[in-house]
Amino acid sequence: MADKVKTAFLLAGGCAGCEMSVVDLSEGLVDALEALEIVFWAPTVADVKYSDLEAMPDKFIDLAFVDGMIRNSENLHTVQVLRQKSKILVAFGACATLGGIAALGDLHTKEELFSQAYKTSFSTDNPDGIYPTPDYMLDGKYHLTIPTFLDNCSTIDQVVDVEYYVGGCPPHPSFVGKLVGAILAGDLPPAGSWLTGGKAVCDICKRNPAITGQERLPVGEIKRTIDGQPDFEKCLLQQGYMCFGPVTQGDCGASCLNVNIPCRGCGGPIPGIKDFGARCVSTLASSMANDATAAQFIEKYNNMAKMFYRYSHTASNLNHKIAQRKEQ
């Protein structure tokens, strides 16, 4: 096939789960390869060097996916280079689009993070308390460098232009196939779009009271999943479990609800929401029966920021406010 879509995958500061989801296409990936030419997939799958990417002509890549957020200087550099080499750049997954779970580290100081990672965690053996040193001269003759840890995480669109956004931790792999099909057909959505079916998790959830006929009542008692097994048939929010389904994109097929776990919002906000965490707060608070329920909620979930901004802290107004406060 002459006009295969030159495609690239780059893992920035994430866990590579998004790329596992692409591999989960299994036989579908073999079919997709009839339309794709993978020209770069690093650092996870192919043994390619960043210099290979740097050597490509500008806009050589038709379609590039980045998963993971910007956490260190290497992430920043490679994403900037990939942007230069690509016609279409997709922020792929919760970390790339919103910051993701690891970016909750920005709610701590660098010293707290390093101390936990390199000194105090149960599995660490580091009696001298040595931290990674970005720039080091060994024996007076070997200059060793590693990426620099940046002051804050960034989403991909906070450092380069992004054409499309795909939510999920990880995303549903079908989006790769959809994008390739749209490129081949010359039928791409407007730049800046989230690629989503546009439905909330509640819209496709089998427990939705509108489907089951369950009466919707104000939530009187707040529960956590450690409090016991929820009823498998009924709406979790109605049972008192904090479910973000009303405000989250449902492209996952309500997978968590199918295994009796509340939605935590990895799919990203349904269109039109400016601050995902704030909308989750207002939605869940409006379902509570009274002040006593709200007080119980605060007692049971003692870290609100990490609860509501689990996937979206970096893209949030909260983060912007914290950054402004640090600058003052």
- Three-state SS at 193: strand
| Nearest distance, CB of residue 128 and ligand SF4, angstroms | 31
- Interatomic CA distance for residues 170 and 94, integer angstroms: 7
Cis status of the peptide bond prior to 57, with omega within 30 of 0:
no
| Nearest distance, CB of residue 230 and ligand SF4, angstroms | 9
Nearer to ligand SF4, 42 or 94 (CB): 94
Nearer to ligand SF4, 196 or 296 (CB): 196
Residue pair 61/94 in contact by the 8 Å Cβ criterion: no
Strand duo 86-92 + 142-145: pairing: unpaired
| Nearest distance, CB of residue 110 and ligand SF4, angstroms | 20
Q: Nearest CA to 245 among 215, 274, 287? A: 287
Nearer to ligand SF4, 240 or 246 (CB): 246
Nearer to ligand SF4, 262 or 275 (CB): 262
| Nearest distance, CB of residue 72 and ligand SF4, angstroms | 15
Nearer to ligand SF4, 53 or 98 (CB): 98
Could you write out the DSSP letters of every residue in 275-328?
A: -HHHHHHHHHHHHB-SHHHHHHHHHH---HHHHHTTTTSTTSHHHHHHHHHHH-
Token pair, residue 258, equals 């199918």
Residue pair 279/273 in contact by the 8 Å Cβ criterion: yes
Q: Nearest CA to 234 among 250, 257, 204, 252? A: 257
Q: Which residue is nearest to ligand SF4 (CB)?
A: 245
| Nearest distance, CB of residue 273 and ligand SF4, angstroms | 14
| Nearest distance, CB of residue 231 and ligand SF4, angstroms | 10
Q: Nearest CA to 10 among 37, 45, 35? A: 45
Task: List, in sequence order, every residue forming a beta bridge with 219; answer none if it has no partner.
Answer: 288
Nearer to ligand SF4, 100 or 183 (CB): 100
| Nearest distance, CB of residue 50 and ligand SF4, angstroms | 19
Interface residue list for ligand SF4 (CB under 6 A): 14-15, 17-18, 67-68, 93-95, 100-101, 169-170, 201-202, 205, 207-208, 235-237, 243, 245-246, 248, 252, 254-257, 263-267
- Interatomic CA distance for residues 314 and 320, integer angstroms: 8
Nearer to ligand SF4, 37 or 231 (CB): 231
Which residue is associated with the tokens 């016991």? 228
Nearer to ligand SF4, 82 or 243 (CB): 243
| Nearest distance, CB of residue 258 and ligand SF4, angstroms | 8
Centroid of chain to Cα 184: 27
